[in-house]
Amino acid sequence: MIDRKEIIDITKDYDTENINVGSVASHSALDIFDGAVEEGFRTLAICQYGREKTYSHYFRAQRESNGKLCRGVVDDSICFDHFREITASQNQQKLISENTLFIPNRSFTSYCGIEDIENDFRVPLVGSRNMLRSEERGIDRDYYWLLEKANLPYPERIENPEDIDTLVMVKLPHATKKLERGFFTAGTYREYMEKAESLLKQGTITRDDLDNARIEEYIIGPVFNFDMFYSPIEENMSKLEILGVDWRFETSLDGHVRLPAPQQMNLSEKQLTPEYTVCGHNTATLRESLLEEVFNLSEKYVKASQKHYKPGIIGPFCLQTCVDKDLNFYIYDVAPRVGGGTNVHMSVGHPYGNTLWRKPMSTGRRLAFEIRRAIEMDKLDQIVT
């Protein structure tokens, strides 16, 4: 892990009048850029050929000669054959020389390699560098480990498929769709075996991944992803905020639930098991009496992160939860960075963020606002790693 002091020293040399906000151009980057320009920063998109035009063309920024923004959100873009080229030392140097504060999103960690990010990528990250790894399910000290340490509720793990006696979710990667899921559900060991064999036969999953899959209790209830924010530099008010809530559109699951039951029963083997590929998001609010519990859960998560992953969570994080029939929350995933669904409140803000800040407050804007405040308070060192 790069010594935090080294990053702070790099940040100290930055010209804070000319900060660039950079991010890998995918996932939640539009929200990040939108927030950054709103708070008066210039933005830099790290693009990959073939998927760059959203940023380099369609949402490109146009400014007047005095710098006032009249259109778009992306000031500059750099395009590579592959995202991970940004970690090459001359490219890092370019970012640093342009006073770039880098916002880690899931595409950054997925495409640029966690080892390189931890050990070689010397561009200051706004967020917790050492926590990014915790979302790799199955590794040492992953997010389940942290949830356990924090005494937070998560779906019970079933070690042995033979012990399945309630509906479970089997979590493993998709065999061919890179970075996607080969998840399936089962109510009994027999169903587990049947589905596993069928998916193996179709090449959707591999035997190796199946052997290492996490089997956990399936929580029957709605999904709420809580887009939270923790500000280490806040002095007088709560350091913890809820900005928004989102939930996902998943294919092919959402198509399945729109079919009548007899039609579902008659699907061919190839279509029978839904997949869980995220392809969009929607926004939600929570029954008000449940909000307090979300704060409790989040406070505990923050505290545990500070104890076990010093300095702990910085900025945005996302608790992905299901709620059961007795209104208990179960956290099935944690993103220790900007969530994947924050485009739901891009630019317009979210009821919770707006209510707190009295103006449109998306996750992207909150991040940029944190940078702005840190600069004004001379506390940039407290939000970078």
Ligand X SMILES: Nc1ncnc2c1ncn2[C@@H]1O[C@H](COP(=O)(O)OP(=O)(O)O)[C@@H](O)[C@H]1O
155 binds ligand X (CB under 6 A): yes
| Partner in contact with 14, chosen from Mg ion, ligand X, none, beta carbon below 5 to 8 Å by kind | none
Q: Is 99 helix (H, G, I), strand (E, B) or coil?
A: coil
| C-beta separation of 7 from 314 below 8 A | no
209 binds ligand X (CB under 6 A): no
Listed ranges 72-80, 215-223, 360-368, 373-381: which one lies at the site for ligand X (CB under 6 A): 215-223
**Which alpha helices (DSSP H) does the chain contain, by range?**
4-12, 29-38, 53, 89-97, 106-112, 114-119, 143-149, 189-201, 207-211, 253-256, 261-265, 269-272, 288-308, 351-357, 363-376
| C-beta separation of 209 from 183 below 8 A | no
> 145 — phi, psi (to 5°)?
-60, -45
User: Rounded CA gap, 150 and 326, in Å?
Assistant: 22
Which of 93, 129, 124, 128 has the alpha carbon at shortest distance from 16? 124
For ligand X, how many residues bind (rule: CB under 6 A)? 14
Shortest reach from residue 93's CB to Mg ion, in Å: 34
Listed ranges 24-32, 53-61, 331-339, 369-377: which one lies at the site for Mg ion (CB under 5 A): 331-339
| C-beta separation of 59 from 139 below 8 A | no
Q: Would you say the C-alpha torsion 368, 370, 376, 378 has a positive or negative sign?
A: negative
Please, which residues bridge with residue 330 across strands?
Answer: 322
363 binds ligand X (CB under 6 A): no
Quick one: 92 or 298, whose CB is closer to Mg ion? 298
- Binding to ligand X (CB under 6 A) within 58-117 occurs at none
Listed ranges 60-68, 122-130, 216-224, 226-234: which one lies at the site for ligand X (CB under 6 A): 216-224
| Residue partners of 281: CB distance under 8 A and separation at least 6 | 246, 247, 248, 249, 340, 341, 343, 344
Given candidates 14, 111, 184, 332, which one binds ligand X under the rule CB under 6 A?
332
User: Rounded CA gap, 313 and 319, in Å?
Assistant: 12
Quick one: 102 or 276, whose CB is closer to ligand X? 276
Listed ranges 4-12, 76-84, 202-210, 218-226: which one lies at the site for ligand X (CB under 6 A): 218-226
| Partner in contact with 248, chosen from Mg ion, ligand X, none, beta carbon below 5 to 8 Å by kind | ligand X
Given candidates 295, 333, 347, 372, which one binds ligand X under the rule CB under 6 A?
333
| Partner in contact with 134, chosen from Mg ion, ligand X, none, beta carbon below 5 to 8 Å by kind | none
Report CA 177 to chain centroid distance, whole Å. 19
248 binds ligand X (CB under 6 A): yes
144 binds ligand X (CB under 6 A): no
246 binds ligand X (CB under 6 A): no
Shortest reach from residue 194's CB to ligand X, in Å: 20
User: Rounded CA gap, 191 and 197, in Å?
Assistant: 10
Quick one: 14 or 332, whose CB is closer to Mg ion? 332
| Partner in contact with 155, chosen from ligand X, Mg ion, none, beta carbon below 5 to 8 Å by kind | ligand X
| Partner in contact with 169, chosen from ligand X, Mg ion, none, beta carbon below 5 to 8 Å by kind | ligand X
Please, which residues bridge with residue 107 across strands?
Answer: none
Given candidates 223, 240, 286, 291, which one binds ligand X under the rule CB under 6 A?
223
Listed ranges 55-63, 138-146, 162-170, 327-335: which one lies at the site for Mg ion (CB under 5 A): 327-335
Given candidates 32, 169, 215, 368, which one binds ligand X under the rule CB under 6 A?
169
- Binding to ligand X (CB under 6 A) within 266-325 occurs at 276, 320, 322
333 binds Mg ion (CB under 5 A): yes
The token pair that represents 13 in the structure block: 């040399």
Amino acid at 47: C
Which of 23, 233, 49, 15 has the alpha carbon at shortest distance from 123? 23
β-pairing, 223-230 vs 240-252, is antiparallel
> Contact residues for Mg ion (CB under 5 A)?
333
> Contact residues for ligand X (CB under 6 A)?
155, 169, 181, 183, 216, 218-219, 223, 248, 276, 320, 322, 332-333
